[in-house]
Structure 1
Amino acid sequence: MPQISSASHSGAQNHTVLKRSLGLWAIVGLGLGYMTPTTVFDTFGIVSDETNGVVPLAYLVALVAMIFTAISYGRMTRIYPSAGSAYTYTSQTIHPSLGFLVGWTSLLDYLLLPLVNALLIRIYMESFFPDVPAWIWVVGYVLAITALNLWSMNSTSKINGILVVFEVVLIGVFIVLAWNALTHGDGNGSAFTSAPLFHDGVDASAVISGATVVCFSFIGFDAITMYTEEAKDTNTVPKAIVLALIIGGAIFFAAAWFGQSVFPTLDGFENTDDTLPEMALKVGGEFFKILFTSAAFAATVASSLSSHASVSRMIYVMGRNGAGPVSRFFSFVHPKHRTPSFAVVFVGAVSMLAIPFTLEFISSMINFGALIAFTFVNLTVVVLFVFRRKEFRTPRQVVTNIVLPVVGMAFTGILWANLNIDALTYGVIWLGIGIACLLVMTRGFRRPINVSMREEDAVELDGESVTA
């Protein structure tokens, strides 16, 4: 299978490319690691209060909303098997300059997620060791995550897989303990009740607002497209997108269902901003609280590995398609480890900002870029299949090429309407910086941006991919 090659940092004739080492379940695991399944317990109190006690319904609405966008991602990654995701799709179907801006705005979220994870680890460790300077935890943690991503994508995916399995097993244990508590009359007294989905006092607008909060728990299925150039078979990537979304959605829904059944109200909770420790304590005691907190720690590490890996691939592709020393720097692939090493190091450097910044400040900047990416991936389906290929003459084509992506954009529009004002403000500022960069790069739009898949130039030589 032909590979997508990169520009060489050294300018040599033969170029190193990313190594195709990821199978279907390795990619699914990376997506699940990015999504952080234990987050359902961290945000349970916030969402339960927002929705008046129907957290599972909020997750169900969010899952339905994301399915439409996931379908669009799956279709576009078949057409353009590049690691650039929304950046590549927009560049190829609409215009390279617009694609750059989509990629630029997406970078805001993708770069901040590894930073958020480093911040969370800093907070965890500070709570255990308050006398140790916070910067030590950030530096040590970021260096470890960066080193793993530099070493091998295969090793990164294996470690991520172990961590994901650990947290999912602990979530399963929570469900068993919750079931036991229900059989003893706690909470609703039974798991077989409609109360977690509907009861008196539930308002549709409140559910949508809650769905907006939990919807971003699903961010990660889209990042799977970043591993397209490292998949053993690119045809597995669309399957991995859907599988990660469905599996993640099922975990979120089941955990939320049993959590809401045992805790129909927040009475008795001391801290409703992060309910995970107390939920574990109440269903399983002190020992299970320690285990479940360690699962949350493992989930954060898994998210760090996968989010760090995905954003470095996006930076690599954007660098590969650019020109000049900055682009050559980011398009470099290590000849031995076959990882985009300079892009990986850059993401690590950005993550060091977890030392001075607070979680509240960084969190307020997230979600703008993700919504930009979701909107344009759905739009590219319409542009490609309707306006360019003219595939809208049969009922099936109308449904797949118009209805599904338009519904996806409509759901994204609902999320836009509920976007935090700080995220919108910082997102617009970031977009303005991107426009300024684009004007400089294109000399006022007089010089086009090069966007090439480069697959046509790649050949296989003794099992290694090089550029002819």
Structure 2
Amino acid sequence: MENVTLKRSLGMWAIVGLGLGYMTPTIVFDTFGIVSNQTNGVVPLAYLTALVVMLFTAISYAKMVKVFPSAGSAYTYTRETMNPYLGFIVGWAALLDYILLPMVNALIIRIYMMSVFPSVPAWVWVVTYVAVVTAINVWSIGKTSSLNSLLVIFEIVLIAAFIVLAFVKFSQGMGQGTILTTEPLFHSNIHFGSILTGATVVCFSFIGFDAVTMYAEEAKDQKVMTKAIMLTVFIGGAIFFVAGYFAQALFPNVSHFKVTDDTLPEIGLYVGGTLFKMLFISGAFAATVASGLASHASVSRLLYVMGRNGVLPKKFFGYVHPKFQTPAFNVILVGVVSLLAITPSLELISSFINFGALIAFTFVNLSVIAHFAVRKKRYKTMKDIFSFLIMPIIGAGLTGILWANLHADALIGGLVWAGIGFIYMLFQTKFFKIKLMDFDFDEADRSSTL
């Protein structure tokens, strides 16, 4: 039987669009109340701090995707540069981040729709949304990308409309009364620790650049992957910072809001009235669907690579649909997990996501050191020392600062999840007596018709 592989159909901007869709630019308004509370009113500073941290890690991703242009991201890089067992644990931990994000999107859709149609049961919205996103992802990555791009453009247009309306509100004396203020970035009541706590919360908004690497085997030209990663980080970070700045200048504190768990509907209402609230919710709805499409596709491909490598049951997780050329079983499984979004809170789930993301970020930085400095001995010039030792060490160190400010529940839950993965690995390897199945990356790359 002919080997069925993923299909190469994505150009650079399609990949960037999937990354931005994954990042959900409007999430800055959803989590605004939570982050404003934690940072005491300096949301844009939290995003700026997270952006600086993410830039170092993004550079490490860009280096590794050149060496291993395969789906799998941190799992693949750790497995190939350090150890297959460690790679599995990193991949397993990253699954917590990837598999929960589609659930977050379903949860946000539930919140939006219940704010508009409070009499309709929550489960109706979750089931409908999950069914549609799952079906599109099974059908085609090309269709997923096209719809994602349209939704991302729509949400960016609405964010621009929010900024225009914000100028009108400033002229009427709302908030700080002017955009020319430093209050959203600095004031006497802020504390460095609270900024780091806020940065830890918002860092999960940046994981779209990590997800970008999942599409390496579906890129028309693998050479564009490095540029796609960096563009995703810079464009997404700029949107988060600017939107967060305007929102914080309009709302110096959260006293205006009745619901701080998701402030987007009320921000839309206060800035532009009922009509703009509906448009803003529709834009956020579009953003969430875009993120749902992209995150659903990403985790399906991580599961696919782990199945292809044999560390998860290959017949199920390594399956590619012969007609659609998508990992159909994985897509459906992620959809089933996403149905759990009927009851939990946004803050709790987003904190668990950060555990998996920070594991991935830490080990991608360490993979750069392991591959270039240790394996390739690229440490004999100042340029190499800076690129392959100093930069990833800074990236890992900054990620470590975020680790220190991780929510206690997320840390405990993440460690429990990692422990389950370790037990599973022990079972699979009969206490390391059997090697995890090695997948020949080079052979797969040569034989692929992606």
Q: Give the TM-score normalised by structure 2.
A: 0.95
Give the alignment partner of residue 246 of structure 1, picking from 227, 230, 234.
234
1:4 corresponding residue in structure 2:
none
1:354 corresponding residue in structure 2:
341
Moved more, 350-359 or 398-407: 350-359
Give the alignment partner of residue 381 of structure 1, picking from 343, 368, 378.
368
SS in 2 for 1:25: helix
Matched, 1:235 2:223: yes
In structure 2, relative to structure 1, the CA distance for the partners of 1:45 and 1:226 (3 Å cut) is same
1:170-185 → structure 2 map (5 Å cutoff): 170-185=158-173
1:262 corresponding residue in structure 2:
250
Contact residue 56 and residue 196 of structure 1 kept, 8 A = yes
Matched, 1:39 2:27: yes
1:114 corresponding residue in structure 2:
102
1:420-431 → structure 2 map (5 Å cutoff): 420-431=407-418
Give the alignment partner of residue 294 of structure 2, picking from 290, 300, 306.
306
Segments of 5+ residues of structure 1 without an aligned counterpart are 1-11
In structure 2, relative to structure 1, the CA distance for the partners of 1:399 and 1:93 (3 Å cut) is same
CA distance in 2, matches of 1:358, 1:48: 18
CA distance in 1, matches of 2:234, 2:368: 21
1:282 corresponding residue in structure 2:
270
Segments of 5+ residues of structure 2 without an aligned counterpart are none
1:399 corresponding residue in structure 2:
386
CA distance in 2, matches of 1:91, 1:457: 16
CA distance in 1, matches of 2:436, 2:124: 41
CA distance in 1, matches of 2:416, 2:252: 41
Give the alignment partner of residue 366 of structure 1, picking from 331, 353, 368.
353
Give the alignment partner of residue 65 of structure 1, picking from 53, 69, 85.
53
2:150 corresponding residue in structure 1:
162
Contact residue 92 and residue 451 of structure 1 kept, 8 A = no
Aligned residues: 450
Contact residue 122 and residue 138 of structure 1 kept, 8 A = yes
Shift of 1:357: 4.9
CA distance in 2, matches of 1:360, 1:264: 21
Matched, 1:187 2:171: no
- CA offsets 1:418-438 (integer angstroms, 9 cap, x no match): 111111111111111111111
Matched, 1:24 2:12: yes
SS in 2 for 1:71: helix
Moved more, 142-151 or 121-130: 121-130
What is the RMSD of the two structures over their aligned residues, measured on CA atoms?
1.9
CA distance in 2, matches of 1:172, 1:453: 47
1:310-325 → structure 2 map (5 Å cutoff): 310-322=298-310
Counterpart residue type for residue 137 of structure 1: W
In structure 2, relative to structure 1, the CA distance for the partners of 1:347 and 1:75 (3 Å cut) is same
Shift of 1:159: 0.6
Give the alignment partner of residue 145 of structure 1, picking from 133, 147, 156.
133
CA distance in 1, matches of 2:164, 2:44: 17
CA distance in 2, matches of 1:104, 1:323: 10
Counterpart residue type for residue 69 of structure 2: P
CA distance in 2, matches of 1:195, 1:49: 15
Q: Give the TM-score normalised by structure 1.
A: 0.92
Counterpart residue type for residue 259 of structure 1: A
Give the alignment partner of residue 203 of structure 1, picking from 188, 191, 196.
191
Counterpart residue type for residue 52 of structure 2: V
Matched, 1:418 2:402: no
- CA offsets 1:96-131 (integer angstroms, 9 cap, x no match): 111011111111111111122222223333344444
1:428-443 → structure 2 map (5 Å cutoff): 428-443=415-430
CA distance in 1, matches of 2:49, 2:347: 26
CA distance in 2, matches of 1:362, 1:58: 19
**Identical amino acids, percent of aligned pairs:** 59
Counterpart residue type for residue 109 of structure 1: D
CA distance in 2, matches of 1:221, 1:19: 21
Contact residue 22 and residue 295 of structure 2 kept, 8 A = yes
Q: In proportion to residue count, which structure has more helix?
A: 2
Matched, 1:451 2:438: yes
Matched, 1:465 2:430: no
Counterpart residue type for residue 371 of structure 1: L
1:7 corresponding residue in structure 2:
none
SS in 1 for 2:111: helix
In structure 2, relative to structure 1, the CA distance for the partners of 1:141 and 1:432 (3 Å cut) is same
Contact residue 196 and residue 257 of structure 1 kept, 8 A = yes
CA distance in 2, matches of 1:428, 1:323: 20
In structure 2, relative to structure 1, the CA distance for the partners of 1:453 and 1:249 (3 Å cut) is farther
CA distance in 1, matches of 2:81, 2:320: 27
Shift of 1:356: 5.6
Counterpart residue type for residue 196 of structure 2: I
Counterpart residue type for residue 34 of structure 1: Y
Shift of 1:323: 6.7
In structure 2, relative to structure 1, the CA distance for the partners of 1:353 and 1:207 (3 Å cut) is closer
CA distance in 2, matches of 1:54, 1:323: 44
SS in 2 for 1:169: helix
Shift of 1:364: 4.8
Counterpart residue type for residue 379 of structure 1: L
CA distance in 2, matches of 1:304, 1:110: 11
Counterpart residue type for residue 300 of structure 2: S
Counterpart residue type for residue 158 of structure 2: L
Shift of 1:450: 2.4
1:344 corresponding residue in structure 2:
331
